[in-house]
Structure 1
Amino acid sequence: MANYLSISDILVSNEKVTCKFLHDLPKMGYLDPSCPEEDLKEGTTTDIPLWLAESLSSRRPPLVSVDLPKIFKETYREIFNADACTVDLHKLNQHFYELGCYVAKYDIKGEVAKTLINTFRQRFRMILSASVSTDSMTALQPLSASERDRTATAMNTEKALSGWLKRGDCPLTTANMVANHRKRKRAEMEML
């Protein structure tokens, strides 16, 4: 899932998530800025980057338990399920879908994955209208980074299609193979 050379993936994996340490970690007190000691004690809760949280939670036994970010907790999920089009994902989290894919594995109930799918389904019409909008700045404002990428791709495709249709120098015609097939079918039907 991770893409080593992707700037957006690097930004997503640097998002801070709240973690609770399950064991004492010697000489790791610097991970918690409020810790006056050199060692990190069991039960300490602190925010660490997602890439570090993944590596610490994937160990056997896991060293941390990862909490879901605020935007994927129950209150925000209710908002997204009610009407996701009213939420400004750009202000909330620019990489909403990518972060959701990363943290979905820490959601035992699987609600994050359902929320991501429902949110995109609800916002698809808004993305589609933004791709054909003449006032693109206001239409793009509430979209996340991945939604903006899809909108830009749709805009380019729409422009290319419009240009091709206006050009008109190569009208669509029936392929010879299809025309010959129709003639043969007609001849067979007349024989019967």
Structure 2
Amino acid sequence: MMENNNYLSISDILVTNEKIPCKFLHDLPKMGFLDPSAAEDDLKAGTNVEIPLWLAESLYSRRPPLVTVDLPKIYKDSYREILNADACTVDMHKLSQYFYEFGCYIAKHDIKGEVASTLINTFRQRFRMLLSASVSTDSIGAIQPLSVNERHQAAAAAAMEKALQTWLHRGDSVLTTANMVANHRKRKRAEMEMF
């Protein structure tokens, strides 16, 4: 069963609604509607179907599992090579809007552990682009290739940058020494003069 940490999160609902390729291990009566090419009412063992992640997780967690989960194409070797070579050239919004979040769910089905390392490497490579998007005046052009998560981070960074600039240019309050610090220095000086 999936964790309910983000149970009421709209973005988590959208992430878990992404389709994932699965292979059914047992015959399932009256479930033929899951396979659009099926002519029968029953779903036969060995059928490969793309189903939403939430359903795949539910069927996979049963004992015995009813499905085996395969990696979606965006996490397979060909895309992984592209992302490891130069992740900044990839339009993440077109590839997968929820690339990082979906990858976190998929990583537990990756026996080799390459999905997790790809997520980390991709974010490391794209971090500089994310920073430039957060301070860019051409916000639409800079934000266009970012995933939803990257867009939220860029927006938060831009808001922080704006707040910092506003505070720095405000100029109405000069930084001064706190009374407690000034009094402490006076006491220390007085103690030193006593000796």
Which range, TM-score by smaller chain? Answer: over 0.9
- 2:28: which partner in 1? 25
1:85/1:186 CA distance change after superposition, 3 Å: farther
1:79-137 alpha-carbon deviations (Å, 9 max, x no partner): 11111111110111111111001111100111111111111111111111111111111
Q: Does 1:107 align with 2:131?
A: no
**Identical counterparts, % of pairs:** 77
**Which residue among 123, 145, 167 is the counterpart of 1:142?**
145
Deviates more, 1:103-112 or 1:171-180: 171-180
**Which residue among 41, 46, 50 is the counterpart of 2:49?**
46
What is the 5 A alignment of 1:90-105? 90-105=93-108
Q: Does 1:80 align with 2:83?
A: yes
1:179/1:83 CA distance change after superposition, 3 Å: farther
Counterpart-to-counterpart distance in 1, 2:18 and 2:26: 23
1:34/1:156 CA distance change after superposition, 3 Å: same
State the Cα distance separating 1:172 from its structure 2 match. 2.1
**Which residue among 146, 164, 169 is the counterpart of 2:167?**
164
1:137-159 alpha-carbon deviations (Å, 9 max, x no partner): 11001100010011111111111
SS of structure 1 residue aligned to 2:103: helix
Structure 1: runs of 5+ lacking an equivalent = none
| Counterpart amino acid of residue 164 in structure 2 | L
- 1:58: which partner in 2? 61
1:55-102 alpha-carbon deviations (Å, 9 max, x no partner): 000111100001111110111111111111111101111111110011
Counterpart-to-counterpart distance in 1, 2:186 and 2:124: 45
SS of structure 2 residue aligned to 1:162: helix
| Counterpart amino acid of residue 131 in structure 2 | L
Counterpart-to-counterpart distance in 2, 1:53 and 1:99: 13
1:13/1:170 CA distance change after superposition, 3 Å: same
1:75/1:179 CA distance change after superposition, 3 Å: farther
Normalising by structure 2, report the TM-score.
Answer: 0.91
| Counterpart amino acid of residue 160 in structure 2 | T
- 1:125: which partner in 2? 128
| Counterpart amino acid of residue 133 in structure 1 | S
